[in-house]
Amino acid sequence: MKKTIKITALALVFSVAAFSCKKNVSDAELTTQSTTVVAAYPGTSVEVKEGVAHLSGTFASQEEKDAAIAALKNVKGVKDVMDMATVEAAASVVETVSAVAPEVQQKVTDAVKDFPGVKVDVVNGELTLTGEVTAEQARKIKMSVDALKVGKVNYNYNVKK
Amino acid sequence: MSLQEKYSSVVSAAQTAGISDLKVQEQDGILYISGTTSSNAGKDAVWNALGAIDATYSASDINIDVQVAGLAAGTSLTVDTESSNLNIRQEPSTEGVILGKAAKGEVVTLVEQSSDEWWKIKTKDGEEGYAYARYLRA
């Protein structure tokens, strides 16, 4: 009977020791280790709170983010990873159309039709507007022409104040 | 100074106006600002911000494509021409046959936003056709 108590007590001591041992890897220490892991990904950071790694910042791609999360889960002592990071939006390209395409020419004609003082030419592939307009008309023309996205447009007209 | 800095007031105006799907990107020396709004007020706010920097609206290094979009059929629109009547055409082009006209200040009804440039509208007299969207205010 006495022996059993002894063993139970011993087991208890061991379990407490094991528990405190796990606790010994402090959040600060885990944060340091985790930070080393994500150092490869600029713009990101990690902080360990109660054993959970809180990952934040912006990753260049989803693959990099997944890799970082996997690596953090491998850090001994990190129980889980809280993913608060984002992935950078893929840089999209503004699609422009040719200023000389017939359908674009028609749209440009439509845009300046009400302003007979304006002349439209394509010079070196760039839409070039000349003539005389008021600022209010110039605003309306730019509104319509910008929407066409023909690349660089030279607004070379005289704008009457 | 980068274009983003040069036109930061235009970008912030777009953000303040709550422009949807706002995209700001620099490409080939041009700052492209695009997005959509449900009213002309939002579009005007962005263009006013440009006017504050470029009073003649002649800048070649900025492209603003903010369109009034997502309007429901039946939305009331006000004709906003300079002085003349707004042509209502059979086709969405200035080549299209003129079916009727709407006077400046007249209220017409949206049938559909066929494209950024041309919207199909209906007048109170029942004339239906395409009008140049720049002269319609939501």
Domain architecture of chain A: domains with CATH: 2-87 (3.30.1340.30), 102-160 (3.30.1340)
Give the homologous superfamily in CATH for domain B3-68: Beta Polymerase, domain 2 (3.30.460.10)
Q: Which amino acid makes up residue B102?
A: A
| Domains of chain B by residue range | 3-68, 76-137
Question: What is the second-level CATH architecture of the domain B76-137?
Answer: Roll (2.30)
CB B130 within 8 A of CB B112: no
Q: Which amino acid makes up residue B15?
A: Q
Tens-level pLDDT at each residue, chain B (138 residues)? 789 999 999 999 999 999 998 999 999 999 999 999 999 999 999 999 999 999 999 999 999 999 999 999 999 999 999 888 999 999 999 999 999 999 999 999 999 999 999 999 999 999 999 999 999 999
Indicate yes or no: CB of B57 within 8 angstroms of CB of A114.
Answer: no
pTM to 2 decimals?
A: 0.69
What's the rounded Cα separation, in Å, for the pair A36 and A105?
57
- Measured between beta carbons, the chain B residues lying within 8 angstroms of A111 are 117, 134
Q: Chain-centre distance of CA A13, in angstroms?
A: 51
Nearest to A83 by CA among A75, A97, A72: A72
What's the rounded Cα separation, in Å, for the pair B100 and B1?
50
Measured between alpha carbons, how far is residue B95 from residues A105, B89, B99 in Å?
A: 12, 9, 12
Mutate to test the interface with B, among A146, A156, A161 (most CBs of B within 10 A): A146
CB B27 within 8 A of CB A152: no
CA of A54 to nearest chain B CA: how many angstroms apart? 29
- Measured between beta carbons, the chain A residues lying within 8 angstroms of B87 are none
Which of helix, strand or coil describes residue A142?
A: helix
DSSP code at position B59: -
User: Nearest by CB to B60, which of A109, A153, A161?
Assistant: A153
